Amino acid sequence: MRLIKLLLPLSVAAILSACGTTVQKQPYDYSKFQRTDPRSILVVQPTSSSVEVKAPNAVLAQSTRPLAESGYYVFPVVLVNETFKENGLNDGAEIQAVDLKKIRQVYNPDAILYMDIDDYGTKYQVINSTTTVSVSAKLVDAKTGDIIWTGAKKITVNSNDNGNQGFLSAVTSALISQIKDKVKDTAFDLAGNVEANLLSAGRTDGILYGPYHPAYQKPATQLPPVQNQ
């Protein structure tokens, strides 16, 4: 009993000390990104862990805009993808395994963007459906193969996010959502949102502004407000 009385104050002190400790997030290390200072980016077809066959093309098709708007020249993704196909490479994993030297001989980009789709599509339940798109990315120096930036973004949309519904209304809404998704790929639109958040400059831990953007290499005090993901 006496031992418990002696240990109790120490335990309380340790708990209070732990509660008072805040962990500061380290700022993203952009040193390799800044040394590479890419002007042009080649985006190759993503790899995918999703069973949805439309996922790679859906993500690839929407990758150009956020990168271009961030100040980079982006090689036309359709033409690049067709070039790989003409050389017998149709799968994202095969394309991403191509030697950097060969890519430089054909395109000579400053950096290459590799993406992986962790999740893509809509899952249906009796009274609910959830659409999820999750993409991770890395930007690689085309000359050295060094990874100069990495990021990931996941967004999930729930069909019942609009509020409480009765059982019959919920079933009806779920059925309507399923029919609409058969006509229009909901995940495609969501993928555009994911990539806008993932590949746009001005986001927390996102890519830096490129040379064709007014904010390129400006001091932090002159940059647009940072947008949190």
**pLDDT > 70 in the chain, percent:** 72
Establish if 86 belongs to a structural domain.
Answer: yes
Radius of gyration of the chain (CA): 23
For residue 21, pLDDT beyond 80:
no
- Do residues 118 and 49 touch, judged by C-beta distance below 8 A? yes
Q: Span 62-73, mean pLDDT?
A: 97
Q: What is the CATH number of the domain that holds 40?
A: 3.40.50.10610
> Taking Cα atoms as reference points, which of 92, 79, 81 lies closest to residue 120?
92
Of 12 and 86, the one with more pLDDT: 86
**pLDDT > 90 in the chain, percent:** 65
DSSP 46: P
Establish if 10 belongs to a structural domain.
Answer: no
Establish if 83 belongs to a structural domain.
Answer: yes
Under the banding of pLDDT at 50, 70 and 90, the label for residue 166 is: very low
- pLDDT value for 158: 86
Q: How far is CA 121 from CA 72, 128, 136, 147, 155, in A?
A: 29, 14, 16, 29, 11
Q: How far is CA 60 from CA 44, 92, 113, 204, 224, in A?
A: 8, 10, 10, 23, 27
Structure tokens at 63: 């990758």
Q: Span 204-219, mean pLDDT?
A: 92
- Residues spanned by the domain of 200: 28-208
Under the banding of pLDDT at 50, 70 and 90, the label for residue 75 is: very high
Q: How far is CA 210 from CA 41, 94, 202, in A?
A: 10, 29, 11
Q: How far apart are CA 203 and CA 196, in angstroms?
A: 10
Q: How far apart are CA 18 and CA 90, in angstroms?
A: 53
Q: Span 189-215, mean pLDDT?
A: 95
Of 24 and 155, the one with more pLDDT: 155
- pLDDT value for 217: 87
Structure tokens at 139: 């930007």
Q: How far apart are CA 86 and CA 37, in angstroms?
A: 31
Number of domain units in the chain: 1
Average pLDDT score over the chain = 83
Establish if 225 belongs to a structural domain.
Answer: no
Establish if 177 belongs to a structural domain.
Answer: yes
Establish if 189 belongs to a structural domain.
Answer: yes
For residue 46, pLDDT beyond 60:
yes
- Do residues 115 and 46 touch, judged by C-beta distance below 8 A? yes
Q: How far apart are CA 52 and CA 120, in angstroms?
A: 7
Establish if 214 belongs to a structural domain.
Answer: no
Question: 31: part of which helix (H) or strand (E)?
Answer: helix 31-36
Q: How far apart are CA 141 and CA 154, in angstroms?
A: 25
Under the banding of pLDDT at 50, 70 and 90, the label for residue 25 is: confident
- pLDDT value for 175: 46
- pLDDT value for 80: 96
- pLDDT value for 179: 46
Establish if 217 belongs to a structural domain.
Answer: no
Query: How do residues 94-143 score in pLDDT, each as one tens digit?
Result: 999 999 999 999 999 999 999 999 999 988 775 578 899 999 999 999 99
For residue 11, pLDDT beyond 90:
no
| End-to-end Cα, the chain, rounded Å | 52
Single pTM value for the model: 0.79
- pLDDT value for 7: 47
